[in-house]
Amino acid sequence: MLSIGKVGGGQGDPRYYIDNVAAGKDDYYAGHGEAQGQWEGRGAEGRGLTGGVEDEQFLGLLTEPSTTATRPKTVLAYDLTFSAPKSVSVIYGIGDRTVSPVVRAAHDEAVREALGYLERHATWTRRGANGKHLLRGDGLTVAAFRHRTSRAGDPQLHTHAVVANTTTAEGRETALDGRALYAHQRTAGFLYQAALRRSLTETLGVEWEPVRNGAAEISGIDDQVLKHFSRRSQEIRERLGQLGARSARAAEVAALETRRAKDYNVSTDRLRQE
């Protein structure tokens, strides 16, 4: 699954991502909160941004003045959230020390493949009066933050790929045409899911239930186990029932209304025990 949100314009706080980052080594078993963000994309390489994401480096990138003279950059970034199927999150969260790192690596690589697709097909900008000139941008600048759990504390392997609202075209930087990201959202999400299935089939030998809407669950994991570790989804469904609504917009409202503060400092040993 791939969802897209906006950072800026009153729709997101860029400090959310760095306030919840582990200070130490990227190690799922270290028990020190979430892994440090990593720079991805050709745009990041062009800026000399490699390895771990540093706090002020990240905030400076998102809040730097727009170089587009015709309009201010109200959207600072796009939050592309890649979420693994619940069965994958379960074997990542409670699998042993030989299984969990393999799942993590497969997820990370699948995210990179999807981002590569978006760089090739969805990196555009517009210039001129009313944005009439469409230009291909030279790469994306992405800070990728991998998280372990949902807000309800369930295993939920997902990555926030925060794409800065900037690209280079014809020698200068300019804001992205975000419509291209949304246009390719479904395909990129399907690609992520397919790459994840391929990798886990090759490395762990798992088999899959039928693919529905681009995603599939691992075969052999009881539905009650998946339901038990899906408390966040249940919270949203219950709120939708109270609202008497079923639309995508209603689901967004329900998610916001039931959002709780997330504890990022729970040790891995405690999470695994629970």
Containing 144, the helix (H) or strand (E) segment is: strand 142-149
Contacts for 103-108: CB closer than 8 Å, 24+ residues apart: 103/157, 103/200, 103/204, 104/28, 104/146, 104/157, 105/199, 106/196, 106/199, 106/200, 106/203, 107/82, 107/146, 107/157, 107/159, 107/196, 108/146, 108/159
The residue from 17, 78, 92, 192 that is catalytic is 17
Strand order in the sheet with 2-8: 2-8, 75-83, 155-164, 142-149, 38-40
Query: Could you confirm whether 16 is annotated as catalytic?
Result: yes
Q: How does DSSP classify residue 164?
A: E
CB neighbours of 109 closer than 8 A, spacing ≥ 6? Answer: 195, 199
Q: How far is CA 164 from CA 60, 126, 182, 270, in A?
A: 11, 16, 15, 35
Query: Could you confirm whether 264 is annotated as catalytic?
Result: no
For the annotated catalytic residues, the residue numbers are 16-17
